[in-house]
């Protein structure tokens, strides 16, 4: 009955050298214990160390009887696993959160979810869909009652023996509603002397029986689907139809789909044009059934089959099969017919044989007939490219019985596939039971944490199973029974599948089986969760539809019902995670168009904080779930490769169509609120984000750490949002934590489905990367070498994801039938394929993504989009948003700071960081204070104070503020001195103004010392480099260039990546550098190549590939690379900034070589 903390494989870079500071709390000691241990230390070792402090003698103490629980979560660390492998520990390390654990004895742990013999003997199998809490429609009960007889035969494995009895008991009192018109469909087959498949040419035929009271305008279509190929026949309902296929050539998974169409009856009195529009045929109902049942017998007798109908929710037409004197059974190929094959390895690589190898999922849509024929002929040579098996199988000429021995033999001897590639065999393209069994066998090695990553796709793959009793069903139920976390998410995913009308019955069966296996305690827990979700959904809908003035009253009434629920049952787990156990609720709502509820749940654990959740009603969160799942998998790929992009992954779960829960991330703000602190035009300014981070991280080390987090997370967001084609990006769905982590929310549009204004896309840039983000990275408005780090991170992260192209195409391909409108066909998958560009080399991909960064940074449309959104959101902005200063971390008052007696601007000082300019030193005297305090404020900060005072006191007569506009240089010392005198007059009048103005919180907050003021006291300003570790090396006046050089197929590849620390030009301005190279000796200068020009920077980024073709390797050993860096001067001669010579024979050109050299002047 425990919820175990998720465990992931520890990446290699988390070894013994990574230490953790862990605080352990225990009831037997008053003070918490603090330990420093390695990430690789096991949990039971930490328990043993703790018990050494709590027990005098350990000989009689069993460490296995104790567990460690994270404070605030109802989950437990796994004793035999390393501390660093737990996702909770990794989360704390990522966000610098204290690791707080509670030592508990197992007998003191809640066991309400544990399965007990007494509870199961009490007959809990009659509970289905949350008992009486979740109501059934009569049509659902009818379909379940009709299909019950077939269920008991399908679910035959031991854990689910009572499934048939469960469903029958739940449906026995139901009213069975039949549609007024029954549709009988008869199947007849040719005679057969024995039970095996006939060898002769017997055709399968269908005879349509009489359909009472149907109009003469009705007809039926009957497509027969043998392994993806369709034989479609339509006719009036009565005649017999023969399919041109022999019975012994039918694959085992052949499906028969029967659809009944009719023309609507003309409305009396309507016009002929209206009647003509109504004469389009409508589907009255359809049914799909396999021709061979789960026992592999040809269907000759079945109970009533429920038929799906878009017109009649309670309609239950039926298909009847006539009885026969004999049975026809599909027999699997005998083992002796599976010839032993020899997989060759000396054939050319597969990608040279079939160019379309890297095509998206459902490869039959991508491979030509010639490619498929060639691929099948060379199938024995393909085993070295293990991931090619789906393509090879999709190229099989036929799946009839005679071809199966070759296919199964190939499958049996194929190299073991990893679980990521094996997911491709669970697509609808491969209904064959042996193929799917092998795929399930290969993915069986998934850990529970990995299984949760792919669980939504596996639940969707259940739709493609021909029979309910399948290896995939058994696998999922077995894993769900063994882990409560898997059970929890499996339940909610199945419950969401009940809304799919085409597969709802199958999901009902599976949900019934799961509930029978999970135990009474968990069934009751699911019952409570369903009640809570339904109540919150009803409340959210009422609040949304109510008038703004009545919403608060409706909210109070609805909350009272929820509080009574908690008072009655005590506690309940949230659908977001089984680790979130709550016992109370507080609620408000957001003033936005959707009016979502803002919930604060009271944590059952007194050591944990309240759990803040957004409950949305009216939005389909399945797309958000899928997007966050893809981003979470990307983040895990990066971490496993040693590149932690510090992504913020929050929980989001759809609890039904059009409703769901979203976790709120603490200490985070939207970019819009950060930018509008500098006015409605703050989106066009570069400093808002940097100032906000500086405000919340006043210390130098804190700020540098926040900037580092920003660089990594911003790079990860750029890659993830581009690959997934996330659109509708404005500054209200991009957020920033005070720790510097940036993340995106609200994924209403993805895979390139951008919102359009006429023929213009709202999202014009490849992804959101604006100048205020670059300002944080560079430490100012000029490019620095830290920008090189950002570009390298983006390109490295992009290339790592490209290596897993097949994984993302498989995962998205399995979701094609989930009902998400923007993921419905192969064109949506093609968007991801085109974004990942798997056919490119890493160097070409690096160049490509670098150009995307430049395009996004130079896009004005993104800032304009932000500004328009600012204007649109002004009606939702409260008055409190104007009462804070963007550079002040908190508000100060007259009472807390002391009355100001005098203020005087002493002087102005020149600063160099983060930008060149001037600050004004202000002397502030307070009553009863022995010493004056000195603060530093810029002219822009004085202007912000004045603008917000005007908003706060629109009717008051404020002193006039000095003009911002000057003729000439606005940052010169003469201008600064003139402004000092004007500002002195301004603050003198301001502090002697009316008390409501002079003593307001805004004024006292402005004149309160900031951490930067205390640090600057007594220190003389000096230039400070913002380049960090990439600062210009002492003594190297020319800077450094970063290259990547490789040689392959008589081609020399030179990737010019970055240059750092270039010298300025003679006039003191930043140069416009470009790179020019030669291969010496070259008297005719025929080998000249050069890059593009970077404008106004000493730290340019190029990431350009320069290629020399047709150079023999022997000749290359005699060559020398001359690289020159010049500054473009327009009509004047270009200025040489530096030069370096590289002897190619000194490099190992067999592999990619990165060389960092210092150009010499």
Per-residue burial over 338-373, b = 16 or more CB atoms within 10 Å of its CB, e = otherwise: beeeeeeeeeeebeebbeebbbbbbbeebbeeebbe
More confident position, 323 or 1085:
1085
Question: CA–CA separation, 754 vs 761, rounded Å?
Answer: 6
Question: CA–CA separation, 939 vs 1150, rounded Å?
Answer: 58
Residue for token pair 């694959």: 251
Residue 43 is inside which H or E element, if any? Answer: helix 43-54
The domain spanning residue 762 has which CATH number? 1.10.1070.11
* In a shared domain, residues 904 and 871: no
348, 417 in Cβ contact below 8 A?
Answer: no
Q: Work out whether the CA dihedral 1000, 1004, 1006, 1011 comes out positive or negative.
A: negative
Instruction: Report, as an integer, the average pLDDT of 1035-1057.
Output: 81
- If one counts every other C-beta atom within 10 angstroms of the C-beta of residue 801, the result is 21
CA 342 to chain centre: 42
Residue 110 — pLDDT band, cuts 50, 70, 90?
A: confident
Q: What share of the chain is helix, strand, coil (3-state, %, to 5)?
A: 40, 20, 40
DSSP strand pairing (99-105 vs 19-25): parallel
Confidence at residue 182, expressed as pLDDT on a 0 to 100 scale: 35
Q: How far apart are the first and last CA of the chain?
A: 72
| Residue after which a domain boundary falls, among 861, 877, 893 | 877
Confidence at residue 978, expressed as pLDDT on a 0 to 100 scale: 86
Question: CA–CA separation, 81 vs 1066, rounded Å?
Answer: 62
Instruction: Report, as an integer, the average pLDDT of 1079-1096.
Output: 91
Angle of CA points 123, 129, 131, to nearest 5°: 50
* In a shared domain, residues 959 and 939: yes
* In a shared domain, residues 807 and 698: yes
Domain of 217? Answer: 178-268+275-331
In a domain, 986, yes or no: yes
Question: CA–CA separation, 959 vs 991, rounded Å?
Answer: 10
* In a shared domain, residues 969 and 1073: no
* In a shared domain, residues 810 and 884: no
**Is 29 in a helix, a strand, or coil?**
coil
pLDDT tens-digit readout, 624-680:
999 999 999 999 999 999 999 999 999 999 998 889 999 999 999 999 999 998 888
Per-residue burial over 882-899, b = 16 or more CB atoms within 10 Å of its CB, e = otherwise: bebbbbebeebebeebbe
Question: CA–CA separation, 1141 vs 1008, rounded Å?
Answer: 57
- The values of phi and psi at residue 1030, to 5°, are -100, 20
The domain spanning residue 67 has which CATH number? 3.10.20.90
| Residue after which a domain boundary falls, among 583, 598, 618 | 618
* In a shared domain, residues 982 and 910: yes
Helices of type H across 55-162: 87-94, 117-121, 138-154
* In a shared domain, residues 787 and 843: yes
DSSP characters for 505-552?
A: HHHHHHHHHHHHHH-HHHHHHHHHHHHHHHHHHHHHHHHHHS-GGGHH
The domain spanning residue 1088 has which CATH number? 2.60.40.150
pLDDT tens-digit readout, 125-169:
444 433 333 333 334 444 443 333 333 333 333 334 444 444 444
The domain spanning residue 934 has which CATH number? 3.30.1520.10
1120, 1144 in Cβ contact below 8 A?
Answer: yes
What the block records as the tokens of 840 is: 């490119």
In a domain, 409, yes or no: yes
- The values of phi and psi at residue 583, to 5°, are -135, 0
Residue 574 pLDDT > 70, yes or no?
Answer: yes
In a domain, 1051, yes or no: yes
What the block records as the tokens of 754 is: 């951008």
* In a shared domain, residues 1043 and 1143: yes
Contacts of 105 (CB under 8 A, 6+ apart): 65, 66
Residue 1023 pLDDT > 70, yes or no?
Answer: no
pLDDT tens-digit readout, 445-476:
899 999 999 999 999 999 999 988 999 999 99
In a domain, 843, yes or no: yes
**Whole-prediction pTM:** 0.82
Residue 217: closest CA among 171, 159, 263: 263
Confidence at residue 306, expressed as pLDDT on a 0 to 100 scale: 59
* In a shared domain, residues 861 and 917: no
In a domain, 533, yes or no: no
What the block records as the tokens of 470 is: 């399948």
Instruction: Report, as an integer, the average pLDDT of 1154-1158.
Output: 55
- The values of phi and psi at residue 998, to 5°, are -65, -30
In a domain, 981, yes or no: yes
63, 57 in Cβ contact below 8 A?
Answer: no
Residue 823: closest CA among 811, 835, 834: 811
Residue 220 pLDDT > 70, yes or no?
Answer: no
In a domain, 136, yes or no: no
Question: CA–CA separation, 396 vs 391, rounded Å?
Answer: 9
Confidence at residue 1144, expressed as pLDDT on a 0 to 100 scale: 86
389, 421 in Cβ contact below 8 A?
Answer: yes
* In a shared domain, residues 231 and 212: yes
Q: What is the number of structural domains in the chain?
A: 7
Where are the strands (E) in 377-471, listed by range? none
524, 568 in Cβ contact below 8 A?
Answer: no
917, 910 in Cβ contact below 8 A?
Answer: yes
| Residue after which a domain boundary falls, among 108, 140, 167 | 108
897, 1008 in Cβ contact below 8 A?
Answer: yes
* In a shared domain, residues 867 and 760: yes
In a domain, 628, yes or no: no
* In a shared domain, residues 906 and 968: yes
């Amino acid at each position: 009955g425990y919820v175990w903390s998720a465990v992931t494989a520890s990446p290699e870079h988390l070894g013994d050298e990574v230490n953790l500071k862990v605080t352990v709390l225990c009831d037997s000691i008053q003070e918490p214990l603090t330990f420093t241990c390695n990430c690789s230390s096991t949990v039971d070792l930490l328990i043993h160390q703790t018990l050494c402090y709590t027990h005098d003698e350990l000989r009689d103490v069993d460490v296995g009887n104790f567990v460690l629980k994270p404070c605030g979560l109802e989950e437990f660390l796994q004793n035999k696993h390393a501390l660093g492998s737990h996702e909770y520990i990794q989360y704390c390390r990522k966000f610098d959160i204290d690791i707080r654990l509670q030592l508990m004895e197992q007998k003191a742990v809640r066991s309400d979810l544990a399965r007990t013999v007494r509870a199961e003997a009490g007959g809990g199998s009659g509970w289905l869909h949350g008992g009486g809490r979740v109501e059934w429609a009569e049509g659902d009960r009818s379909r379940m009652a009709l299909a019950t007889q077939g269920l008991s035969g399908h679910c035959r494995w031991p854990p689910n023996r009572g499934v048939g009895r469960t469903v029958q008991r739940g449906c026995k009192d139901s009213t069975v509603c039949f549609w007024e018109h029954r549709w009988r469909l008869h199947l007849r087959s040719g005679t057969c002397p024995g039970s095996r498949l006939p060898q002769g040419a017997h055709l399968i035929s269908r005879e349509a029986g009489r359909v009472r009271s149907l109009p003469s305008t009705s007809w039926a279509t009957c497509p027969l689907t043998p392994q993806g190929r369709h034989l479609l026949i339509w006719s009036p309902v009565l005649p017999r139809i023969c399919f041109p296929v022999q019975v012994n050539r039918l694959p085992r998974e052949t499906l028969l789909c029967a659809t009944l169409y009719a023309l609507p009856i003309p409305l009396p009195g309507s016009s002929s044009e209206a009647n003509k529009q109504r004469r389009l045929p409508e589907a009255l109902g359809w049914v799909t059934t396999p021709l061979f049942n789960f026992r592999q017998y040809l269907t000759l007798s079945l109970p009533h089959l429920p038929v799906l109908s878009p017109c009649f929710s309670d309609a239950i037409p039926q298909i009847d099969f006539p009885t026969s004197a004999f049975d026809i059974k599909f027999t699997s190929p005998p083992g002796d017919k599976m010839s032993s094959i020899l997989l060759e390895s000396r054939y050319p690589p597969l990608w040279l044989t079939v160019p379309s190898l890297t095509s998206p999922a459902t490869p039959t849509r991508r491979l030509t007939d010639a490619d498929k024929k060639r691929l099948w002929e060379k199938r024995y040579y393909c085993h070295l490219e293990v991931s090619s098996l789906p393509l090879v199988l999709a190229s099989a000429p036929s799946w009839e019985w005679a071809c199966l021995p070759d296919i199964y033999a190939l499958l049996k001897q194929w190299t073991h596939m990893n679980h990521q590639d094996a997911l491709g065999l669970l697509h609808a393209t491969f209904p064959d039971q042996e193929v799917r069994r092998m795929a399930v066998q290969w993915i069986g090695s998934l850990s529970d944490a990995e299984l949760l990553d792919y669980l939504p796709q596996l639940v969707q793959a259940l739709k493609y199973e021909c029979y309910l009793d399948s290896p995939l069903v058994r696998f999922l139920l077995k894993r769900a029974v063994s882990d409560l976390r898997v059970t929890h998410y499996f339940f909610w995913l199945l419950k969401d599948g009940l809304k799919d009308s085409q597969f709802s019955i199958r999901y009902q069966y599976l949900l019934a089986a799961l509930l029978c296996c999970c135990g009474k305690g968990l069934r009751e827990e699911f019952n409570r969760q369903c009640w809570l979700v339904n109540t919150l959904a009803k409340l959210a809908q009422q609040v949304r539809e109510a008038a703004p003035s009545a919403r608060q009253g409706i909210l109070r009434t609805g909350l009272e019902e929820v509080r009574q629920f908690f008072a009655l049952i005590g506690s309940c787990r949230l659908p977001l995670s089984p680790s979130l156990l709550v016992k109370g609720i507080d609620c408000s709502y957001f003033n936005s168009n959707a009016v979502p509820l803002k919930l604060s749940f009271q944590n059952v654990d007194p050591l944990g904080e309240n759990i803040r959740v957004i409950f949305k009603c009216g939005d389909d969160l399945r797309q958000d779930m899928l997007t966050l799942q893809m981003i979470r998998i990307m983040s895990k790929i990066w971490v496993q490769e040693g590149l932690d992009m510090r992504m913020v992954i929050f929980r989001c779960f759809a609890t039904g169509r059009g409703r769901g829960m979203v976790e709120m991330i603490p200490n985070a703000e939207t970019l819009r609120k950060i930018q509008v602190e500098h006015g409605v035009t703050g989106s066009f300014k570069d400093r808002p984000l940097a100032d906000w981070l500086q405000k919340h991280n006043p210390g130098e080390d804190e700020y540098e750490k926040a900037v580092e987090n920003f660089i990594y997370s911003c790079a990860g967001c750029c890659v993830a949002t581009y690959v997934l084609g996330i659109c509708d990006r404005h500054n209200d769905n991009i957020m920033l934590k005070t720790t510097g982590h940036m993340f995106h929310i609200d994924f209403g549009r993805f895979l390139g489905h951008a919102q359009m204004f006429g023929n213009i896309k709202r999202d014009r840039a490849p992804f959101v990367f604006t100048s205020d983000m670059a300002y944080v990275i560079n430490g100012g408005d000029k490019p620095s070498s830290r920008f090189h780090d950002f570009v390298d991170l983006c390109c490295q992260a992009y290339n790592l994801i490209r290596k897993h192209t097949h994984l993302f195409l498989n995962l998205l391909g399995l979701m094609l039938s989930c009902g998400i409108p923007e993921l419905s066909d192969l064109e949506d998958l093609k968007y991801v394929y085109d974004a990942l560009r798997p056919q490119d080399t890493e160097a070409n991909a690096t160049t490509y993504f670098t150009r995307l960064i430049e395009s996004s940074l130079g896009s004005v449309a993104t800032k304009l989009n932000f500004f328009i959104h600012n204007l649109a959101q002004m009606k939702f902005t409260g008055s409190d948003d104007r009462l804070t200063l963007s550079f002040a971390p908190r508000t100060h008052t007259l009472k807390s700071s002391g009355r100001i007696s005098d203020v005087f601007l002493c002087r102005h000082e020149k600063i160099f960081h983060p930008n060149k300019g001037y600050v004004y030193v202000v002397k502030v005297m307070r009553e009863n204070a022995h010493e004056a305090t000195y603060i530093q404020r810029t002219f822009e900060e004085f202007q912000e104070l004045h603008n917000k005072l005007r908003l706060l006191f629109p009717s008051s007569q404020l002193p006039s503020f000095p003009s911002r506009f000057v003729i000439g240089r606005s940052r010169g010392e003469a201008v600064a001195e003139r402004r000092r005198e004007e500002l002195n007059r301004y603050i003198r009048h301001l502090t002697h103004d009316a008390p409501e103005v002079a003593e307001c919180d805004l004024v006292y907050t402005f004149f309160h010392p900031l951490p930067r003021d205390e640090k600057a006291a007594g220190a003389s300003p000096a230039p400070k480099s913002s380049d960090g570790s990439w600062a210009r090396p002492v003594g190297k006046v020319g800077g450094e260039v970063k290259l990547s050089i490789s040689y392959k197929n008589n081609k020399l590849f030179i990737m010019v990546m970055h240059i750092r620390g270039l010298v300025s030009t003679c006039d003191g301005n930043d140069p416009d550098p470009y790179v020019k190279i030669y291969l010496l000796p070259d008297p005719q200068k025929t080998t000249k190549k050069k890059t593009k020009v970077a404008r106004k920077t000493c730290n340019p980024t190029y990431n350009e590939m320069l290629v020399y073709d047709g150079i023999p390797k022997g000749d290359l050993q005699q060559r020398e690379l001359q690289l020159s860096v010049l500054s473009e001067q327009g009509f004047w001669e270009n200025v040489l900034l530096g030069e370096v010579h590289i002897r190619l024979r000194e490099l190992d050109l067999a592999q990619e070589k990165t060389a960092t050299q210092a150009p010499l002047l």
